[in-house]
């Protein structure tokens, strides 16, 4: 398993992403970030082997991503936050978008770079991106924000809202519910230590609108689609 690379140095290697990053962190860092990172490093191989990032196997998820891709085409660069092994990033790149992926887990990013050479991937936490204002046409938090502590997610969403250009879109995919599920195994009984925070759509809309974003789309997925009840929400930075 690869050692954790300092975020600053990993950014330097990725010019386009680095140009959209400014100094100084403004978001509280979760206290469990290191254990969450180590857990995703441990599950990364199985996640890839199980092909879990492949949206083409899920028509409703694919449709949502296709709609997002159409909405952000030509609006500005796109950042896939928590990109995992890069499937959605690559899917969007294949559609002609200027997209890069970033993930907390170095092992996930190793897979992304190996599987999609020529695409742009970097290691960093959603809480430590320090995105420049009005620099992105689109942001994805595609099943990658549910480990953020409840009080940290609003800070991250605020940073995303600021980073979008007017007309830019944010898409979130996540599990629906009320609980904070402490997980000790995942993706083939690999030992993990993380909490999955479930959200209700009304709670997320509250956070998104408080961040200054306008609702665009709200898709509720039943357990039969994604294994557990799930949500896809799309919000837009208003143009006026």
Contact set with ligand SAM (CB under 6 A): 36, 40, 53, 81-84, 87-88, 103-105, 108, 125-127, 142-144, 147-148
Closest distance to ligand SAM from the beta carbon of 166 (Å): 25
The nearer residue to ligand SAM, 126 or 166, going by C-beta atoms, is 126
Closest distance to ligand SAM from the beta carbon of 122 (Å): 10
Query: Where does residue 129 rank: exposed (0-12), middle (13-18), buried (19+ CB within 10 A)?
Result: buried
The nearer residue to ligand SAM, 54 or 166, going by C-beta atoms, is 54
CA–CA distance, 104 with 132 (Å, rounded to integer): 19
Q: Which of 125, 118, 130 is nearest to 14 (CA)?
A: 118
Closest distance to ligand SAM from the beta carbon of 40 (Å): 3
CA–CA distance, 178 with 170 (Å, rounded to integer): 23
Reading the block at residue 207, the tokens are 């956070």
Reading the block at residue 46, the tokens are 């199985």
E strand or H helix at 120: strand 120-123
The nearer residue to ligand SAM, 36 or 221, going by C-beta atoms, is 36
The nearer residue to ligand SAM, 197 or 237, going by C-beta atoms, is 197
Closest distance to ligand SAM from the beta carbon of 238 (Å): 26
The nearer residue to ligand SAM, 127 or 155, going by C-beta atoms, is 127
Closest distance to ligand SAM from the beta carbon of 240 (Å): 31
The nearer residue to ligand SAM, 8 or 74, going by C-beta atoms, is 8
Closest distance to ligand SAM from the beta carbon of 152 (Å): 9
Long-range contacts of 157-160 (CB under 8 A, 24+ apart): 157/207, 157/208, 157/211, 157/213, 158/211, 159/26, 159/27, 159/129, 159/130, 159/131, 160/81, 160/131, 160/211
The nearer residue to ligand SAM, 180 or 214, going by C-beta atoms, is 180
E strand or H helix at 107: helix 106-115
Closest distance to ligand SAM from the beta carbon of 55 (Å): 7
Cβ atoms of 168 and 137 closer than 8 Å? yes
Residues 6 or more apart whose CB falls under 8 angstroms from that of 124 comprise: 7, 10, 11, 102, 103, 104
């Amino acid at each position: 398993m690869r050692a954790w690379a300092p975020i600053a140095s990993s950014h330097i290697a990725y010019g386009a992403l680095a140009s959209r990053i400014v100094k100084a962190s403004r978001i509280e860092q979760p206290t469990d970030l290191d254990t969450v990172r180590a857990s995703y490093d441990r599950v990364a191989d199985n996640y890839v082997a199980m092909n879990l990032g492949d949206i083409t196997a899920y028509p409703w998820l694919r449709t949502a991503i296709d709609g997002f891709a159409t909405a952000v085409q030509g609006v500005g660069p796109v950042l896939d936050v928590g990109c995992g092994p890069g499937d959605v990033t690559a899917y969007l790149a294949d559609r002609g978008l200027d997209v890069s992926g970033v993930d907390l887990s170095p092992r996930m990013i190793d897979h992304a770079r190996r599987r999609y050479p020529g695409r742009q991937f970097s290691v960093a936490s959603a809480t430590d991106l320090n995105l420049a204002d009005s620099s992105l046409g689109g942001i994805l938090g595609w099943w990658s924000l549910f480990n953020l502590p409840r009080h940290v997610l609003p800070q991250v969403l605020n940073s995303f809202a600021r980073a979008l250009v007017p007309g830019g879109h944010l898409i979130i995919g996540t599990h629906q519910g009320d609980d904070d599920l402490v997980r000790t195994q995942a993706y083939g009984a690999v030992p993990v230590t993380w909490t999955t925070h479930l959200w209700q759509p009304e709670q997320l809309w509250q956070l998104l609108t408080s961040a200054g974003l306008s609702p665009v789309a709200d898709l509720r997925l039943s357990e039969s689609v994604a294994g557990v009840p799930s949500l896809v929400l799309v919000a837009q930075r208003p143009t006026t």
